[in-house]
């Protein structure tokens, strides 16, 4: 891809209290371009070319501010303090059990009902070498959604000329707490609103996954994927895998909503590859995290309309959420999510686009 990297800032509506929402559009004209909102530090759109050079938005998005504060709150958002679930809204830490805000399931999901996805972040445009993007910051006070310790969070989006979007997370606290941040973009490489992603091929660099109970809390130890629909060690069609007769798929609503345990390795490493044969678009997801939650949009019911005017129905997009494991505060054998004063939480995920 050629051309100059550009970035522009625009207004994107207001909250009910009159605070304005900022929107940054950056990238390479004719190549990959990203749109990020200050509401939820959110990836609102991501345009990428197909093998013929035709560009399309490949992430789902809410069509209004009201939707981004409601049903579409997680679309493309930075979720936290704790991405995924904490069972029963109970956080045991250093001999004390902290009561967290919960959703209707009785569990704490993505940091609680008023998590980071609904917050207005402060942002500023950024240029780093041959990359451009935006840095967003948020202060979360002690007791926010029940979590102990004040937390200062920074999320940075940077896009290069080659079509790689890097998301970097950083956080510090003044008291022991837990942190597990991720991005909740839903991808459809055929284009937002183009139909279900069942024709996509997915490969995940993992030999095990975490089975769950009926409320999607992990049962405990990882289970090998060999011989199961969860074996994505070689690329497989999503439609065939999620239609397989397996109880774990039924529990999740006839699809994936599970964490894969990524093969360990140093630094930024390949976690998953998503490919859409019809358009040729390919997405490589790289991360420093130990796991990836794959959710195939099983519960979309047509109540949400995307920015392109199409209603989102089941399997309209797939989320590839790089993260630590769900409910790790209750499972000592899982990688720790505890952050203490003087430590720095750091995590990086990259989405690399290409065509085949």
Strand partners, 57: 47
pLDDT of residue 14: 86
Domain range holding 89? Answer: 6-355
Nearest Cα to Cα of residue 188 among 86, 326, 281: 281
Q: Which of the residues in the chain have pLDDT under 50? A: 1-2
pLDDT of residue 3: 55
Nearest Cα to Cα of residue 346 among 259, 268, 258, 230: 268
Q: What is the CATH number of the domain that holds 202?
A: 2.70.98.10
pLDDT of residue 1: 38
Nearest Cα to Cα of residue 225 among 250, 198, 261, 184: 261
Buried/exposed 54-79: b ≥16 CB within 10 Å, e otherwise? eebbbbbbbeebebbbeebbbbbbbb
Q: What domain count does the chain have?
A: 1
CB count within 10 Å of CB 203 equals 17
- Does residue 66 form part of some domain? yes
Residue where the block lists tokens 């091929």: 201
> CB neighbours of 66 closer than 8 A, spacing ≥ 6?
none
Chain segment 8-33, per-residue pLDDT in tens: 887 778 888 889 999 999 999 889 99
- Does residue 255 form part of some domain? yes
Q: Provide the sign of the torsion angle of the four alpha carbons 241, 247, 248, 253, taken in this order.
A: positive
- Does residue 119 form part of some domain? yes
HSE, side-chain direction, 13 A CA sphere, residue 47: 14
Chain segment 98-131, per-residue pLDDT in tens: 999 999 999 999 999 999 999 999 999 999 999 9
- Does residue 276 form part of some domain? yes
- Does residue 43 form part of some domain? yes
Rounded to 5°, the CA angle 97-101-105 comes to 105
Residue where the block lists tokens 């991405």: 83
- Does residue 1 form part of some domain? no
Query: So which residues are the catalytic ones?
Result: 184, 321
DSSP-derived secondary structure for 18-77: SPEEEEEEEE-TTS-EEEEETBTTEEEEEEEE-TTS-EEE-B---SSHHHHTTTTTTTT-
First to last CA, the chain: 15
- Does residue 108 form part of some domain? yes
Buried/exposed 92-121: b ≥16 CB within 10 Å, e otherwise? ebeeeebebbbeeeebbbbbbeebbbbbbb
**Whole-prediction pTM:** 0.96
């Amino acid at each position: 891809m050629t051309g100059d990297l550009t970035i522009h800032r625009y207004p994107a509506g207001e909250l009910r209290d009159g605070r304005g929402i900022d929107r940054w559009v950056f990238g390479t004209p004719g190549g990959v371009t990203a749109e990020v909102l200050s509401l939820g530090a959110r990836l609102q759109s991501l345009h990428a070319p197909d093998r013929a050079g035709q560009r399309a938005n490949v992430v789902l998005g809410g069509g209004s501010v009201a939707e981004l504060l409601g049903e579409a709150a997680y679309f493309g958002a930075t979720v936290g303090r704790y991405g995924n679930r904490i069972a029963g809204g109970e956080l045991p830490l250093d001999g004390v059990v902290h009561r967290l805000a919960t959703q209707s399931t009785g569990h704490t999901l993505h940091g609680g009902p008023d998590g980071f996805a609904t917050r207005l972040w402060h942002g500023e445009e950024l240029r780093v070498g041959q990359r451009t993007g935006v840095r967003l910051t948020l202060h979360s006070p002690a007791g926010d959604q029940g979590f102990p310790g004040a937390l200062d969070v920074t999320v940075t989006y940077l896009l290069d000329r080659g079509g790689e979007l890097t998301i970097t997370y950083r956080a510090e606290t003044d008291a022991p707490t837990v942190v597990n941040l991720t991005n909740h973009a839903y991808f459809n490489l055929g284009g937002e609103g183009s139909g279900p992603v069942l024709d996509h091929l997915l490969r995940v660099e993992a030999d095990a996954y975490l089975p769950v109970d009926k409320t999607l809390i992990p049962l405990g130890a990882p289970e090998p994927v060999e011989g199961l629909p969860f074996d994505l060690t070689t690329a497989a069609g999503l439609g065939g895998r999620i239609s397989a007769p397996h109880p774990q798929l039924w529990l999740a609503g006839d699809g994936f909503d599970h964490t894969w345990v990524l093969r360990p390795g140093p630094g930024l490493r390949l976690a998953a590859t998503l490919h859409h044969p019809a358009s040729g678009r390919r997405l490589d997801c790289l991360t420093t995290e130990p796991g990836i939650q794959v959710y195939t949009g099983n519960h979309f019911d047509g109540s949400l309309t995307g920015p392109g005017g199409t209603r989102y129905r089941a399997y309209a997009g797939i989320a590839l959420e790089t993260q630590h494991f769900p409910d790790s505060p209750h499972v000592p054998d899982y990688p720790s999510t505890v952050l203490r004063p003087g430590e720095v939480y750091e995590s990086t995920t990259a989405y690399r686009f290409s065509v085949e």
